[in-house]
């Protein structure tokens, strides 16, 4: 099954593409595998170039400090053979030590992008991601290949194959972290901002076009105006990956939003509201023919238990619950 990573991929690859267009070499470190307690997790990335500060992280600490120093030396070379390195985060025992004592281990892929050889592929990758299209990145000792292809939801997002004399790193470059927010008010705006910071692809739906919170929402990847909230869910791509949160302005609209989503294969459907509001929503859904088994699909009220009075506090509560759910099922 697929794994979920939270790195905002396009900003990373956009930076890499820009540097290569400026004729700068770019060193990449990609975490291909990790075990529990490792500070670097699968999908984490680090970029090092001469004319900019490092971007991203593969776990920090002395491990990353040493790697950045090494990368600066590699960037002075004419060429560099792609490399695989497994680092152990312990003081003792077998294996190459990272200098950290967190426990666990991680396997990193190192690749130096050359402007002549790799600029076209990295630019293609950045463009595809900016257009919300998916690509496959492959790296082995012979080089890098980028191909446009639809995401395969039945395969891991990142796969490392290691043989006796060769290895292959494959990554589906597509944002598997996705949230659809039905409702475009103040809480939706705050949640959009936070989920964007967490690396999610954010979609927002509302029936109102000229409200300030819709105009101010520059965090959502898409904002769609619909005639009826019931039609929102059918417009969501990759429903198997998408967390849905219903937070409209009134009970009737919440009910319409839930009705459109309840029979689609979303992993999570949350509804914002007080206990009394949720009780009324459930009552209205029952009148619409929604069964008890269907109602079990709802997380209502959405958010971890806490005193949440402001839109920002509500956003933290909802985001925390989504992250808990995501980590428990990945």
Query: Would you state the pLDDT for residue 192?
Result: 99
Query: Would you state the pLDDT for residue 8?
Result: 54
Over the stretch 91-103, which tens digit does the pLDDT of each residue have?
999 999 999 999 9
- Give the separation between CA 329 and CA 79, rounded to whole angstroms: 42
Reduce the secondary structure of 289-310 to three states and give it as a string: CCCHHHHCCEECCCCCCCCCCC
DSSP assignment of 161-205: EE-SS-EEEEEEES---EEEEE--SHHHHHHHHHHHHTT-EEEEE
- pLDDT band with cut points at 50, 70 and 90 for residue 327: confident
DSSP assignment of 142-169: TEEEEEE----TTS-SEEEEE-SS-EEE
**Which residue, 190, 178, 181, is CA-closest to 271?**
181
Mean pLDDT value across the chain = 94
Contact 283, 302 (CB under 8 A): no
Residue 330 has pLDDT above 80, yes or no: no
Over the stretch 224-272, which tens digit does the pLDDT of each residue have?
999 999 999 999 999 999 999 999 999 999 999 999 999 999 999 999 9
Domains of the chain: 9-131 (no CATH), 178-329 (3.40.50.720)
**Which residue, 254, 260, 194, is CA-closest to 231?**
260
Residues 6+ apart with CB under 8 A from 215: none
- Give the separation between CA 126 and CA 239, rounded to whole angstroms: 24
Contact 104, 36 (CB under 8 A): yes
Q: Which of 36-45, 81-90, 123-132, 184-193 is least confident?
A: 123-132
What residues does 161 pair with on adjacent strands? 168
């Amino acid at each position: 099954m697929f794994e979920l990573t939270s790195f905002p991929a396009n900003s990373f690859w956009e930076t890499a593409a820009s540097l290569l267009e400026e004729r700068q070499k770019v060193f990449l470190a990609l975490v291909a595998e990790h075990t529990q307690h490792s500070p670097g997790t699968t999908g984490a990335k680090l970029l090092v170039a001469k004319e900019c500060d490092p971007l991203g992280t593969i776990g920090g600490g002395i491990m990353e400090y040493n790697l950045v120093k090494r990368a600066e030396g590699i960037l002075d070379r004419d060429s560099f053979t792609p490399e695989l390195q497994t680092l152990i985060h312990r003081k003792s025992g077998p294996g190459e030590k990272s200098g950290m004592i967190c426990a666990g281990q991680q396997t990193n892929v190192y690749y130096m992008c050359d402007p002549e050889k790799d600029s076209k592929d990295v630019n293609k990758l950045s463009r595809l991601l900016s257009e919300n299209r998916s690509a496959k990145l492959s790296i082995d000792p012979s080089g890098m290949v980028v191909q446009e292809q639809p995401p395969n939801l039945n395969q891991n997002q990142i796969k490392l194959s290691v043989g006796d004399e060769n290895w292959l790193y494959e990554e589906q470059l597509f944002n598997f972290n996705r949230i659809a927010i039905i409702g475009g008010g103040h809480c939706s705006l705050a949640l959009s901002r936070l989920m964007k910071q967490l690396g999610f692809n954010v979609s927002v739906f509302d029936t109102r076009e000229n409200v300030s919170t819709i105009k101010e929402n520059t965090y959502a990847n898409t904002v769609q105006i619909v005639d009826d909230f019931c039609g929102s869910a059918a417009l969501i791509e990759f429903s198997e990956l998408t967390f849905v949160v219903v937070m409209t302005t009134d009970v009737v609209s919440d009910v319409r939003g839930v009705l459109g989503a309840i029979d689609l294969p979303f992993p999570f459907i949350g509804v914002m509201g007080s206990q009394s509001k949720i009780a009324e929503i459930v009552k209205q859904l029952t009148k619409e023919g929604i069964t008890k088994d269907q109602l079990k699909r709802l997380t209502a009220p959405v958010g971890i238990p806490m005193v949440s009075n402001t839109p920002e506090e509500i956003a933290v509560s909802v985001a925390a619950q989504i992250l808990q759910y995501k980590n428990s099922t990945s």
